[in-house]
Structure 1
């Protein structure tokens, strides 16, 4: 099994059990070892009292991209900590793209950077997540 096959199979298994991301209309646009890109369109029910999307939904998109990126090695991995900086709000009907890339990985710990962009590639938010590998795998390697 190639590293790309492992990443895709891990993502498929995670996606099948990720009702939250699915219910928000997210979809996986790209997956590779240590990398994931997720997209989500801003719906009317995601707008705050100012008529824009800012905060929680953007965080959730970034966190989901982070989760898929750090789980691409067929090792169950969870968030250890994260932080986000919001640069600007997203607008109604705008498609947001969250691209997570592995900055460092050593042993059971990893660092991932996520950039959330809107249409015209303007930066909406910057997210950094630290991951920790826990016990278990998404699938048995010998079943590949």
Structure 2
């Protein structure tokens, strides 16, 4: 199995159990080793009292893209720390894209940077996730 095929197999296995991302209307647009592009449209239920997207939903999109990127090597990984900086508001109807790229890894630790953009490609938020590999694999028969 090539690294790209492994990333796709891992994404399918994770997606089958990921009720949170699916429940928020997220979709995987692209998966590759250490990378994931995920999209989500801002719905009425996601808008806060200021009439803009609630930051928690933007965080959830970035966190999901991060999770798929750092699990694409068939080593189960979980978040150990995340930060996000919001740069501009997202609005009702916006289709956001979170592009996650693993930028570093050593041993069981990894760093993945995620940029969330709006439909015009403008940055909405920047997220950094620190991951930690745990026991197990997503695709057992590939080992």
The bucket for the TM-score relative to the shorter chain is over 0.9
1 CA distance for matches of 2:104 and 2:29? 22
Give the structure 2 partner of residue 134 of structure 1.
134
Query: What are the equivalent positions in structure 2 for 1:116-127 lying under 5 Å apart?
Result: 116-127=116-127
Stretches of structure 2 lacking an aligned partner (at least 5 in a row): none
User: Number of residue pairs matched?
Assistant: 143
Deviating runs (4+, > 2 A) in structure 1? none
Alignment of 1:1-144 (within 5 A): 1-142=1-142
TM-score, with length taken from structure 2 = 0.97
Deviation at 1:141, TM superposition (A): 3.9
Q: CA deviation at 1:107?
A: 1.3
- After superposition, the CA RMSD in angstroms is 1.0
Q: Please list the CA deviations of residues 60-95 of structure 1 after superposition, one character each: whole Å capped at 9, or x if unmatched.
A: 000000000000000100001010001111011000
- The normalised TM-score by structure 1 is 0.97
Q: What CA distance in whole angstroms lies between the structure 2 residues aligned with 1:24 and 1:8?
A: 21
1:49-69, Cα deviation, whole Å (9 max, x unpaired): 111103100000000000000
Q: Distance in 2 between matches of 1:122 and 1:44?
A: 21
Q: Report how far residue 142 of structure 1 moved.
A: 4.1
Could you tell me whether the CA contact under 8 Å between 1:54 and 1:88 is conserved in 2? no
